[in-house]
Amino acid sequence: MADGADIIEGGETIGGLPKIYVDAPSSLPFKKLRKRLLRHTQDAIRRFGMETPRANGEPPKWLVCLSGGKDSYTLLAALLDLKWQGAIKVDLLVCNLDQGQPQFPKHTLPAYLNSIGVAHRIITEDTYSIVTDKVPENKTYCALCSRLRRGILYRVAREEACDAIVLGHHRDDALETFMMNFMYGGRLAAMPPKLLNDEGDVLVLRPLIMCAEKDIAEFAEAMAFPIIPCNLCGSQQGLQRAAMKEMLNGWERHHPGRHDVMFRALQNVRLSHLADEKLWDFSELKSDS
């Protein structure tokens, strides 16, 4: 185990629930919200075959990537909850990557994870200096930062013998990515719920892919997670993704349920009604006359 690791076997419980719920509300609306998030998470894990046992029959080991934002906290809570219920059989190791961003609160996540008794590892890599050196001032850091972060997480997954890294991307993230690719990238692509890396040795899983961001935000607020802002690098203003989010949210405000319909479309692809000859052999289509 590398420096910065703090391993606590299992996950502690209190009052018959995972300890992460120690300060959770007891109200009926919160219980319904928790149940809805768990239902969507379990459905995604089952539907997309995320919980694949190892060849020897042992449960898979997942590296749960915790950034300190609302999505990754909710992901952790959902996985601990499902594991506690016996709904999934996986070994969890939480990982946070300290990228050297200014004013990053180094003690927030270790203190929180210790308080709930969750196995974790903290990695310190100064990717912030690399990104700020390579990216011009008028450009956002996100793309390069994401690539560097993903490479480090793959490395840690291998060091810890993990079968997958698990990310907190949700339904709205997938829709925003689809629209970004559609309008700016000239391709039809979103965020897959399950992906195999180029080397073929680590899976990327997104168990919250069917969860709505508004539910996640409401859950995180109710749970009073110690949120770490994502704009510590100062590179979040004016992003095309932010504009796309606002556009999609505007559609949802004017036409409630539009996000659900759009996400269903990602699961209902008709290749014969698109125009990619690499995926559909139009030349072989002939009439009987």
At 124 the three-state DSSP class reads strand
pLDDT of residue 11: 56
pLDDT tens digits, 60-82: 999 999 999 999 999 999 999 99
pLDDT of residue 137: 67
pLDDT of residue 288: 79
- Positive or negative torsion for Cα 186, 146, 44, 279: positive
More confident residue, 184 or 132: 184
pTM as predicted: 0.88
Statement: residue 231 has pLDDT above 90: no
pLDDT tens digits, 77-86: 999 999 999 9
- Compute the distance between CA of residue 79 and CA of residue 87 in angstroms, rounded to an integer: 9
φ/ψ (deg, to 5) at 136:
-60, 155
Q: Dump the DSSP string for 188-212.
A: -----SEEE-TTSS-EEE-TTTTS-
Statement: residue 7 has pLDDT above 60: no
Tokens 């095309």 found at: 240
pLDDT of residue 48: 97
Name the β-bridge partners of 175: none
- Compute the distance between CA of residue 62 and CA of residue 204 in angstroms, rounded to an integer: 10
Instruction: Provide mean pLDDT across the span 235-250.
Output: 78
pLDDT of residue 236: 54
Give the C-alpha distances (Å, rounded to integers) separating 69 from 162, 167, 180, 268, 288: 23, 11, 22, 31, 58
pLDDT of residue 69: 94
Instruction: Provide mean pLDDT across the span 41-66.
Output: 94
Mean pLDDT of the chain: 87
pLDDT of residue 136: 60
Token pair in block for residue 67: 């950034």
More confident residue, 282 or 146: 282
Q: For the chain, where are the alpha helices, taking DSSP H only?
A: 28-47, 70-85, 108-116, 127-134, 142-159, 171-180, 213-223, 240-254, 258-266
Statement: residue 235 has pLDDT above 60: no
At 257 the three-state DSSP class reads coil
Q: Which amino acid is at 57?
A: G
pLDDT of residue 102: 76
pLDDT of residue 119: 93
pLDDT of residue 132: 67
- Compute the distance between CA of residue 86 and CA of residue 103 in angstroms, rounded to an integer: 39
pLDDT tens digits, 260-286: 999 999 999 999 999 999 999 999 888
Percent of the chain topping pLDDT 90: 66
pLDDT tens digits, 123-144: 887 766 666 666 666 666 566 5
Statement: residue 1 has pLDDT above 70: no
Instruction: Provide mean pLDDT across the span 223-227.
Output: 96
Statement: residue 184 has pLDDT above 70: yes
Q: Could you give the dihedral angle defined by the CA atoms of residues 213, 12, 224 and 29, in that order, rounded to the nearest 10 degrees?
A: 60
Domain architecture of the chain: domains with CATH: 5-284 (3.40.50.620)
pLDDT of residue 287: 85
